[in-house]
Chain A
């Protein structure tokens, strides 16, 4: 059973370009979370999605950032017109359900975005 997969693992963009980060949850998981980690910092929640629905985007910057989790295919975190401050590691996590609030979140290896 493959774990959470993220690609690309490393992404370099110039200021003003777009960045697309992909996340394939574990098999059987229907909940996806995106977190951002700045150097020497903990992870900060960005957005929580279920298939075709954004459940909580309270941690997402209001501009330039968007996320989706379509019925088919991976979840996508999209950053438009990137700036240097967007340089960070972006982690995706998945969990099987929200029946219990104790369900473990399994993290992917992350995408390290560098904006030149």
Chain B
């Protein structure tokens, strides 16, 4: 059973455009939602994270929007650049859990110049 569903699987955006990646979760015990960026041959790197007590968090060109009632959260990349081309993973971790993250299947983003 997939606990974090991510879409789309792949995304092509023009340089300067907005990239939007969506995730939905089922377990209401989740209370930490990070996004990771992964380049080919590299390990995932934390991009931005949010807790469910806020509806939005912005860091530079990256924004997480969080809808607790719908159990959905999304990553917005403003002014997308070719250097943003990577695979993005959303994840979730449960309150009081032993700390392991549950990942979505990833979105491969390509930003065309």
Contacts and interface: CB of A to CB of B under 8 A. Distances in A.
Q: Does A associate with B in a complex?
A: yes
Interface of A: 4, 31, 33, 35, 40-45, 48, 55-56, 59, 91, 95, 98, 101-110
Interface in B45-81: 45-46, 49, 51
Contacts of B34: 104
Interface residues of B, number: 28
B103 A43 contact: yes
12 contacts: A33-B100, A40-B106, A42-B106, A43-B103, A44-B103, A45-B101, A48-B100, A56-B98, A101-B96, A105-B101, A107-B36, A109-B43
A107 B105 CA distance: 17
A91 B95 contact: no
Contacts of B41: 109
B102 A45 contact: yes
Nearest to A95: B99
